[in-house]
Amino acid sequence: MKISAQEEFGLRCLLQLARASAAGESLTLAQIAEREGISVANAGKLMWILNKAGLVRSQRGIKGGYYLARPASEIHLNQVIRVLDGERVDSHCKSYAGVLDACVHTGDCGIRPVIVELHQIVDNALSDITLSQLLDTEANVDAALHQIHITKQRSEQRA
Amino acid sequence: MKISAQEEFGLRCLLQLARASAAGESLTLAQIAEREGISVANAGKLMWILNKAGLVRSQRGIKGGYYLARPASEIHLNQVIRVLDGERVDSHCKSYAGVLDACVHTGDCGIRPVIVELHQIVDNALSDITLSQLLDTEANVDAALHQIHITKQRSEQRA
DNA sequence: GCTAAACCTTACTTTAAAGTCAACTTTCAA
DNA sequence: TTGAAAGTTGACTTTAAAGTAAGGTTTAGC
Ligand code: FES
Ligand code: FES
């Protein structure tokens, strides 16, 4: 259970764009790459993925660059992760079938619900966090996340 | 955010042992491998990891085999995952540093709390599930997991 | 319209994880 | 005591993800 490099760096780059967009600016690939310490080529690949998914927009030409497609407060982390993950969210059992296919095709499996539930929990937790919330200091972000967690539980309790 | 093959197959093999132990039996490598559709060598590797971590015990010799070190009801999934994950739980930012080390060494980072919180949420969710709970039918397991989720929220609410 | 800056796209190379193989050691039972 | 079953270990091979490179396409400005 870990976060891939694409998810990690993609999210970081998005945060850079979020910061820039607060000042109404756009960032070129070279700027993004320099600020995150990755190669220009790699930044280009990440931006291509994010652009294709509609999370960022690009302006070509001599005064071009990248900027967020929507305000940072309207971009939720679960969308970001899903995009950077290559949409492989629902392919667990298909890929880890081994030689036998007993586990895949036999309807009754005790592990599948665990996997499904786990992804729901993660997705649910991430859906409450927006890019704009991550622009604060680490201490404040941490406090905000805990606050969200508690609030969430209360609202679910009422439901 | 995905589950590695080691985690998936390791958990499956543990479930096989849990089933066998209910009948007071132990399983050989060949039996485990056949039941999960993986190679004997791979099963051996997984069992070695689980044995080293103290989750299973092995009996050598002609009547040997593997069995759970503890009752299935006392083995929680978060322990299993942590073992199979190679204890890499707290190495996120160290590995994804890129060329610059700004993100790693600069105290203030908005992403780190997200990663930490996420892992806590996952670990927390898994800690409520035991191996014995996964031996039921898929429908029952699914129902049980939802039940746990709700119960958990209530108890946290009181705290 | 030219030109240079900047993004777009595909293909290739590198690298780390997963899986396999083969030789070794231990144990039990005849 | 001896041999076969079974686990242990480390090295090797395979494979998929990550990263890189190069050429193509679009746009702003002159
Ligand atoms: S159906 Fe996929 S692990 Fe059982
Ligand atoms: S410190 Fe690791 S992502 Fe910022």
- The residue to which tokens 């967690």 are assigned: A149
Q: How confident is the prediction along chain A (159 residues), in pLDDT tens digits per residue?
A: 788 888 888 998 999 899 998 888 899 999 999 888 889 999 999 999 999 999 999 998 888 899 999 999 999 999 999 888 876 655 566 555 444 444 544 556 777 788 888 888 888 888 989 999 988 888 888 888 888 777 766 666 665
Identify which of A24, A23, A11, A88 has the alpha carbon closest to the alpha carbon of residue A55: A11
Distances (CA, A) of B63 to A9, A133, A154, B20, B66: 51, 59, 55, 15, 10
| Pocket around ligand 1 at a 6 A CB cut-off | A 93, 103-104, 109, 111-112
Distance in angstroms (rounded) separating the CA atoms of residues B103 and B101: 5
B10 CA to chain A: closest CA distance, Å? Answer: 11
Distance in angstroms (rounded) separating the CA atoms of residues B35 and B157: 42
Fold assignment, B5-86+129-158: Arc Repressor Mutant, subunit A (1.10.10)
Question: Per-domain residue ranges for chain A?
Answer: 5-86+129-158
Nucleotide nearest to A62 (CA to C1'): C5
Nearest ligand by distance to the CA of B36: 1
